[in-house]
Chains A and B, each alone.
Chain A
Amino acid sequence: MIKNIYLRCALVLSCICVGSAVLIGGLHTATDYYKETHKSTEAPAEIQSLKPGATFEEVADFSPISSTESSTKVTITAVYALKEGGQTTGYAYKLNCSKPVKTDVEFTVLFEGPAQAANINAVKPSNINIMVGGDSGYDGNIIKLADGIVEGSATANDYSSVVSGGTKSQKFFIDGVQAARKDYVARINGQTGGPTVEKTPIEKIYGDLYKSNVEDEFTAIKGDTTHCSYEITNRYTVTLTDSTVTKAYAGTTSFQDPEGETDVVKIVAAFSGDKASVKLDGYSVTKDISWNDYKSYLDGVSKGTTSLEDENAVHTGSTLSTNAIRDLIIGMRADYIANYKTVLEEMYGTSYVSESVDEYAAVKGDTSHCSYELTKRYSVELSDGTTGKAYEATTSFKDPEGETDVIKLIAAWSGDAANAKLVGYKLTKNISWDDYKGYISNVASGTTSLEDESAVHTGSTLSTNAIRDLLLAMRTDYIASKNA
């Protein structure tokens, strides 16, 4: 027996620790070996539950793809092939659908059997598994909708099956089903990636945008220069996820190559910024030529290292095409500048003459519905000789889940003190549940009075109340400025 107590303590504790380490180490090795040899071949539960017992194989070469649909931005995050007898008989999709705000809808959907693009509306999912049902408290409606689509009593072809309560989430969900269905029709017929998953040229430029709309009123612009003939065929209004609005143009330029043949380049280019600082955000070539060193020129213009004004910069190795492209881009830029309107110019329309920023101390306030702040004020000279005022403002309020939602907007006012009128507004930060937009539009059109408290019951009463309080504060400030 060891008499020295310190030595004995050290020895006993060491022995226990060593014994413990040996036991844990051995068990660790054994469990690792077990896990390695018993790896599950099952798909994740949310996919497997679409068809219990079936074999799903993840499509290995798949990368998440996003597309912008009618109401939402849909991202297909994973695709699994349904295998039966070694053959692929269907595909299961995992999707996330959301606006660029917090209300997400996540689900998995399974399609089986043959499908043709011509009959895409007849392609019905065989099962749907809702993982995240969007707006809290209304996920029951989305589950009923999913069940209805599977059973055939509801449709995913349009929004006709959407019921009151969580309507946005249901629309997001339908957008997701449609996106998956389009991909399925392509994929089951041997194409990898359906027609909707191919990014549009504008998506290629911005990567992550909310939506782009072609402007119907735009008339094609044709031009001839010493280098080329060009045509700007379409103009697009592009809304990015941060609510920034930019313009994109689709155009064609044709020119003679050194062998005397006519070469054609088709390109989509996007611009942003105000008149004084127009910036080429990027470009996407939709019809190319083999000798395309002009791309390095465009890259330089996009990065700001090359000026469009610098004629010498076209000597890239393919000077002819670069000159042609430069002329096209200059044509696009000229249209952008000619049609550029400031936010306030758009709101006041033809009445707008000029604008200036007021010296203004921010106005803050708290109401029973929100906290608001008027951060910046503009004076806008109007063509009738009067002066309108516009405000940059923020309102924040608690949503039904207890989280603080923030809306930022610019709103413009005109009229004298007795007849203050909301001219228009532009949101710079939005929330997902934005039925209050209808309320503001009605106030602006004069069909709804700011005095009418009952008009806030729009379906998003909390945000509408917050917006109403903000507009009332703006009007008070506007009237005070008129009386000053």
Chain B
Amino acid sequence: MDQKPSKLRVFLDPLFKANPLFVMVLGTCPALAVTTSFESAIGMGILFTFVIFFSNLIISLLRKIIPDEIRTPCYIVVIATFVTVVKLLSSTFLPELYSSLGVFVSLLVVNCIVLGRAEAFASQNTVVDSMLDGLGNGVGYTWAIAAIALVREVLGAGTLTFGKVFTFIPKVTLPILSGYTGSDFSLAMPLFKSSAGGFLVLGFALAIIAAINNYKDKKAKEKARAERAAAAKGGNN
């Protein structure tokens, strides 16, 4: 019999064990498009988290009212509503972020993670669990795209810029592989700012995550085998 996961697990699983990008390999299109800049990726993550959190909340609230026959259009209307909300808010309060993300804000309406969590989780679970699931997936997706963006911006531009998208913080450009005052030194590789660079970084990230998961599985199996052997030995005695 399936045991219902704890609220903590509902929140934590999407962060690492069932990360939507690195483990489920979902939402890769915006993950490649908006990860040329670390700030843009963080911004996208925040908007994504807002949408998935409130969509899960509303869909879970309405789950007993929405007839099965029209659940998909209902989910899309709910998600589209919150996407419109984030568009209005971001274009008003963070216009630089809004213009840097472009069409990918609108495309959240058909984001497979948001739709997937609505269909697979929020429509079948309590409001609190759905909110935690939405928050977990949002944060999990955010850190994943932020990590990719960090690597791409540093390798591609040679610098790390803050304050360009979030204009309420002072604009700072940190020289890392290039950008040192009075020096032409640069190890920046513009390839990483291109789509091909995005695929490369995502590919390496997926490989590393897979290797870690394989290692953990192997360790868990070895541990289980050792426990079974110990139990058998104890029984024989």
Contact = CB atoms under 8 A, between A and B. Distances in A.
Interface in A7-30: 8-9, 12-13, 16-17, 19-20, 23-24, 27-28
Nearest to A6: B69
Contacts of B70: 9, 12-13
A31 B92 contact: yes
Given A27-B85, A27-B88, A9 B77 contact: no
Given A12-B65, A12-B70, 14 more contacts: A8-B67, A12-B62, A12-B67, A13-B70, A17-B77, A19-B81, A20-B78, A20-B81, A23-B85, A24-B88, A31-B89, A31-B91, A34-B92, A35-B92
A16 B67 contact: no
12 contacts: A13-B70, A13-B77, A16-B66, A19-B81, A20-B78, A20-B80, A20-B81, A24-B81, A27-B89, A31-B88, A31-B91, A34-B92
A34 B70 CA distance: 37
Interface string A335-348: 00000000000000
B84 interface: yes
Contacts of B77: 13, 16-17, 20
Contacts of A27: 85, 88-89
Contacts, number: 43
A223 to B, nearest CB: 65
> What size tier do the contact residues of chain A reach?
10 to 19
Interface residues of chain A: helix, strand, loop or mixed (majority): helix
A19 B80 CA distance: 12
B98 to A, nearest CB: 12
Interface centre among B69, B80, B81, B89 (most CB of A within 10 A): B81
B74 interface: yes
Nearest to B96: A45
B73 interface: yes
Contacts of B91: 31
Interface string A389-426: 00000000000000000000000000000000000000
A5 interface: yes
Of the four ranges (under 10, 10 to 19, 20 to 34, 35 or more), the interface on chain B belongs to 10 to 19
Interface of B: 62, 65-67, 69-70, 73-74, 77-78, 80-81, 84-85, 88-89, 91-92
A8 to B, nearest CB: 6
A408 to B, nearest CB: 36
Interface string A111-125: 000000000000000
Interface string A242-260: 0000000000000000000
Contact of A16 (B78, B88, B89, B92): B78
Contacts of A12: 62, 65-67, 70, 74
A35 B98 CA distance: 15
Contacts of B85: 23-24, 27
Interface string A13-57: 100110110011001100100110000000000000000000000
B106 to A, nearest CB: 14
Contacts of A13: 70, 73-74, 77
Contact of A5 (B66, B69, B74, B84): B69
Interface string A437-448: 000000000000
Nearest first, the 9 closest Cβ-Cβ pairs linking A and B are A20-B81, A31-B92, A9-B70, A31-B88, A24-B84, A16-B77, A27-B88, A9-B67, A16-B74
Interface in A208-243: none
A12 B67 CA distance: 8
Contacts of A20: 77-78, 80-81
Contacts of B67: 5, 8-9, 12
B91 to A, nearest CB: 8
Contacts of B80: 20
A6 to B, nearest CB: 9
A9 B68 CA distance: 9
A31 B92 CA distance: 6
